[in-house]
Amino acid sequence: MTRLWLVRHGPTHAKSMVGWSDLPADLSDTAALARLRDYLPDAPVVSSDLIRATATADTLIRHHRLPHDPALREINFGAWEQRTFAEVEAEDPTRIRAYWETPGDIAPPGGESWNAVRARVDTAIDGYVQSGHADLIIVAHFGMILTQLQRALGIGAYAAFGHKIDNLSVTDLHYDGDWTVGRINHIP
């Protein structure tokens, strides 16, 4: 059995869509980070290659660090990157509403669809599951975590978007031939 401990990176305080922009995380809440580290198992840590994930992961290492993995990045919002929903909706209301309300093959201009994100992340996670780790801590992003929650629960993308994933929260998934879900959005 493999247990994946999916941790959302520290907050960026951005009030817009942040995907592949390399914004730093605010890691000033050292008590929250200590509680998180104490809650997690002594296991290898891997993260997205974006600084908000790598810096958060660096605070959690007790075992060893695996190389940063760009396949664990957040959704690529393309032309919508660092823009608010309202800004994009003023220009392209049909596309942005379809992207969030009927996620699937619709993509932001120059970005990726939900299905593309899910395929990218599924491939990466399958590789980690096959690597033989009993426990693996993965520090990544809201969208990345939701793709795996969707997969493990066997739900649609829209239902997956209904889950809250807070910064510095843990969602744990288990794989033993089938996926099962432990805690979702747990804040230690």
Q: Cα(128)–Cα(150) distance, rounded to whole angstroms?
A: 18
Name the residue with tokens 């290898």. 44
Residue 171 reports pLDDT greater than 90: yes
CATH number of 2-181: 3.40.50.1240
Average pLDDT over residues 99-123: 97
The model's pTM is 0.96
- 72-100: pLDDT as tens digits: 999 999 999 999 999 999 999 999 999 99
The residues spanned by each domain of the chain are 2-181
Average pLDDT over residues 143-168: 97
Q: Cα(76)–Cα(17) distance, rounded to whole angstroms?
A: 10
Q: Cα(129)–Cα(134) distance, rounded to whole angstroms?
A: 9
Sign of CA dihedral 74, 75, 78, 79: negative
Q: Cα(103)–Cα(166) distance, rounded to whole angstroms?
A: 21
Residue 78 in tokens:
């393309």
Q: Cα(161)–Cα(149) distance, rounded to whole angstroms?
A: 10
At 62, the pLDDT band (50, 70, 90 cuts) reads: confident
